[in-house]
Structure 1
């Protein structure tokens, strides 16, 4: 029986983030949408989708949310507990970090120029 992903480690420019296990990685590529008319499906059209990574990090006095929010042109390594790894190149924050005091985490939303399986 094979192991199913349940945890992850996220590294930003070589430094491990204090990431929680509820991250979502979208490797990017294309979305396809059906083209219809006259009661028929003619085919599909494609739209390019950028890779994204949504994650939360445990927040403490050493977590610099301003610096994280200003990050551009970063390299992010996403590694699951199954050993599967992805690298996001040219990564940038898409919005400022958001701190949630009720659970002590900050939400980070990234996009990137590319995502490759290692």
Structure 2
């Protein structure tokens, strides 16, 4: 029997600390972004590198590793998706303001890093 599960619970670890994921988890499938343009000689494209990243929404319990996540700039972020795919971001650091929402106790985090590898 084959595994046809493609969505469901995802797991995120930041330097070994597991976060309580509540929303979506996102990681890039490609290392480059292509933009097409048309010329008199046909369609061509340019390529730019994509910065490796992991985006996640999670709840913030009392023991949330806030200082480690907000201060460190060499994190390893591991995203395990429900379909079994795993994305590992190395040299990671938090980007964009991360604000804790008091009404639901959640925070949206975005990590960028040096290298992202699908395993």
User: Is the pair's TM-score, using the shorter chain for normalization, greater than 0.5?
Assistant: yes
* 2:46 paired with 1:36: no
Question: In 2, Cα distance between the equivalents of 1:37 and 1:62?
Answer: 57
8 Å CA contact 2:69–2:93 kept in 1: the answer is no
Aligned residues: 117
Listed as ranges, the matches of 1:68-107 within 5 Å are: 68-107=69-108
Gaps of 5+ in 1: none
Question: In 2, Cα distance between the equivalents of 1:10 and 1:109?
Answer: 12
The 3 A distance-change label for structure 1 pair 94 and 41 is farther
Tell me what 1:19 maps to.
Answer: 21
Tell me what 2:117 maps to.
Answer: 116
User: Aligned to 2:22, what secondary structure does the other structure show?
Assistant: coil
- The two structures, once aligned, show a CA RMSD in angstroms of 2.0
Structure 1 residue 28 displacement after superposition? 4.5
The 3 A distance-change label for structure 1 pair 84 and 64 is closer
Tell me what 2:66 maps to.
Answer: 65
User: Aligned to 2:100, what secondary structure does the other structure show?
Assistant: strand
Question: In 1, Cα distance between the equivalents of 2:48 and 2:38?
Answer: 16
Question: In 2, Cα distance between the equivalents of 1:81 and 1:74?
Answer: 22
Give the TM-score taking structure 1 as reference length: 0.84
8 Å CA contact 1:66–1:97 kept in 2: the answer is no
